[in-house]
Amino acid sequence: MTVPFHEVQFPPTISLGAIGGPSFNTTVTELSGGSERRNQNWSRPRHAYDVAHGIKTQADLDALRAFFMGRRAKVFGFRFKDWADYRCPNWDATPGDRDPLPIFFTTAGVVGHSTFQLAKTYADTVDPYTRVLAKPVAGTLALYNDGAPTSDWTLDATTGIVTLGTALSLTSGRAITGHLEFDVPCRFDTDDMKVTINDLDNFSWGQIPVIEVRV
């Protein structure tokens, strides 16, 4: 089933004030002896946010109202910029530094190895986690062929799938590295826009839940 989704980004000036991040789902069963059993219900996390704290001005409220109406509340998904984790790799301490990150190696003549899914690996020393990047930001991806910039590729920014061009797909053993920005596919987790009008230009919206969708 196709997930209703609009390829439009939630106002980034409002998401800058969001509270939230990744959430897993785990069932913990405590046994009579005091030990416990833990069951991982989800193989990957689901990000969730509250963006109410990002509304600071009437202009913010107007922009959010228009965005909420355009998505028909819960109906249509959208892109969400998680300011705590939106780059791959993260910038180094030097301003503007973007060291390319290994993405894949080319394998000439092997069916199915001319397309690659963009992903980000969180390099934990015990059990690294690889996250699929299905919503890269258009215009931010740069790829390098053995360290040299290359444009012999195309990107589907709606899926995060890179397709190598003829020259690269016919070679093997090339280290393809790169860097990019990405969004989280999300939707509103409420059908209600309950704004409290305290006074002229004085308002509040208790909670504005936004939750990740699987795409």
CA distance 106 to 168: 7
Q: Which two tokens stand for residue 3?
A: 């997930």
The reported pLDDT for the residue numbered 90 is: 67
The answer to whether 180 and 142 are in contact (CB under 8 A) is yes
SS3 166: helix
Give the helix/strand (H/E) hosting 180: strand 175-181
pTM value is 0.88
First to last CA, the chain: 10
CA distance 209 to 51: 7
Q: What are 41-57's pLDDT values in tens digits? A: 999 999 999 998 888 78
CA distances from 114 to 106, 117, 161 (A): 8, 10, 10
Low pLDDT (below 70) residues in the chain: 1, 90-101, 103-113, 198-204
The reported pLDDT for the residue numbered 39 is: 94
Q: Please name the residue that has the structure tokens 């995060």.
A: 160
The reported pLDDT for the residue numbered 179 is: 86
The reported pLDDT for the residue numbered 1 is: 61
